[in-house]
Amino acid sequence: MSWMGDFTPGGETSKDAPPPQSEVENTETVQGAFGKPVAAKKANQPFLKYQELRKKQEEELEAKKQRNKERLERQARGEEVEPPEKEEINETVNITLWDIIKFLFIVTMIVLGSGYFITGDPLWDYQGKWRRLSSYLPKHEMLFTETGLAKFDGSDPTKPLYLAIDSNVYDVTPGRRTYGPGGSYAFMAGKDAARAFATGCFKEHQTHDLRGLDEDEQRGIDHWKKFFANHKDYRKVGRVVHPPIDPASPIPEHCNPDTKQKRAENRQKRKQEEMKDKRQEL
């Protein structure tokens, strides 16, 4: 019966018998790197063998230096001496920080050179935002009033083109064909039309008032905020200070009530499906 244990000839159960000598962990310690003790167990044997080999090499090297020193002393006394011993001991190579820097520099030059000859661009035609150092340098951000921001709507070609979303102002001058006069999104320039980004009511919702947005519309705002913040060509230049919104004022109505109603129905349907899935899991 297994609960009684297996009896050994000595009268002890196997669970009480001492483990074989081979299974006893060697708790002996030896001096390792930096003078710290290292347990002489099986897992540490490769390291300990390396330490032993290194110590042997150092001893042999030191003995060879001593023999050469004695040879020079005998030679100075006019005695006949044997030829000097050759340095055959491989000394440990110490890698310095400067060696690492040189290695990284060489690798970087190889990568940049390969990019230039293959794609014509040292950065392999990468167009990420980090390519422009100005993206990471400290910026002097400006504060705009709504009237001041309107002066940068693209009507004056000598001025940069600005737009704002949720109070953050971005220089979109490289996108003048899109946001400048005659562009498909020219109505966004020179103002904070954040609500239009969320609802798609480009004519009716050219306002920063975000009250009453549903979940889908709020996700839309978050998407466009990330779009401008991470764009490789656009950069943030400041913030626009809006007058406070009267909480008692009416919330802007959606330009297409049917669309809003359909979104609400879809949202309710998703919630019901999520509740159904949770009940099935339980």
Q: For 249-259, how does the pLDDT look when each residue is reduced to its tens digit (9 = 90+)? A: 999 988 887 77
CB count within 10 Å of CB 274 equals 10
pTM of the model: 0.51
| Ordered DSSP codes for 211-237 | TT--HHHHHHHHHHHHHHHT-SS-EEE
- Both tokens of residue 87? 């340095």
CA distance 36 to 38: 6
Most confident among 53-67, 72-86, 97-111, 132-146 (mean pLDDT): 97-111
Q: Which carries the bigger pLDDT value, residue 148 or residue 22?
A: 148
- Does residue 5 surpass a pLDDT of 70? no
CB count within 10 Å of CB 260 equals 16
> ∠45-47-48 over CA atoms, to 5°?
60
Mean pLDDT of 11-27: 50
Q: For 75-89, how does the pLDDT look when each residue is reduced to its tens digit (9 = 90+)? A: 787 777 777 766 554
> Is 235:171 a contact under the CB 8 Å cutoff?
yes
CB count within 10 Å of CB 174 equals 15
